[in-house]
Amino acid sequence: MAPDTEKPMVTHDRSPVWVIVASTLGVLLIAVALLGLTLGADAPGRPTLGAAAKQVTPASVGGTEVAAVRSAAAIPQRPKYRLPPGAMQSRSTNATPAAHRRTIPARPKVDLAPLAIKIPAIGVTSPLVRLGLNPDNTLQVPTEYGLAGWYIYRPVPGEIGPSVIAGHVDSKVGPAVFYRLKELQPGATIEVDRNDGSVALFSVTTKEQVDKNAFPTARVYGPTATSELRLITCAGTFNYNTGHYNDNLIMYAKLAKIVR
């Protein structure tokens, strides 16, 4: 009996077929990918936004917060710091350093007040004292016969409104500061020195003599649209029973100018 002869096992090697198929599919996928990238990069009207080239900024529209994607190339970069409100940054290369700039001090504010009165035509020169009201609401008069006084409840001479200055006509020993006031004529100049260094110049317009019992309060103390001045003194007959004159002499003047 002939010995069994082993038949060689026939093995079919399929590796080359799968390698070819896989290689072909890989080439096709790479070609498709390259074609898609080429078309996407060259498409007109479509911005390219890379990871480093886009900025997401929250925006509020109608009370709803949405994300707005902006191109970094189109949005200017913000500075790293901001100037405080009101600060200005000089663009001049020749700007004067702060240490060498001159600061002009502000002129201190003062309460404007009259200091003195001068009436060259009748030789009057007098400091001005402050006058208020008596308990019966009549105008106070200076305690010294040689001084005139400014009524503090009316404007400073040179300001809008009727300023009032009063003075005695005489005393038991002789003439007082406004003794010659009756000689003053329209057009005469009255000067009032003020504490800001200025001088208010007035021009006499008219005068009147009135009974003290019919004093024209509204005409003397009432409001005016311009700067005016009234000078008041006593006049008429002296009443020995009351110890006062029966009348008042009132001089009216308007501001001509203020000299500084």
Q: Please write the tens of the pLDDT for every residue from 143-188.
A: 999 999 999 999 999 999 999 999 999 999 999 999 999 999 999 9
| Model confidence pLDDT, tens digit, residues 64-82 | 333 333 333 444 444 444 4
Alpha helix positions (H), 7-162 = 15-42
Domains of the chain are 114-259 (2.40.260.10)
Distance CA 51, CA 191 (A): 84
**Mean pLDDT for all residues in the chain:** 76
Cα 112 to Cα 109, 130, 152, 196: the distances in Å are: 9, 13, 11, 7
Q: What are phi and psi of 201, to 5 degrees?
A: -105, 125
Nearest in space to 117 (alpha carbons), one of 162, 180, 177: 177
* Strands 227-239 and 148-151, sheet pairing: unpaired
Tell me what pLDDT residue 135 has: 94
Tell me what pLDDT residue 187 has: 98
Nearest in space to 67 (alpha carbons), one of 58, 76, 55, 75: 58
β-pair partners for 159? 157
Distance CA 66, CA 160 (A): 63
| Model confidence pLDDT, tens digit, residues 100-122 | 444 454 545 569 999 999 999 99
Distance CA 164, CA 146 (A): 17
Nearest in space to 178 (alpha carbons), one of 189, 167, 192, 186: 167
Distance CA 112, CA 117 (A): 15
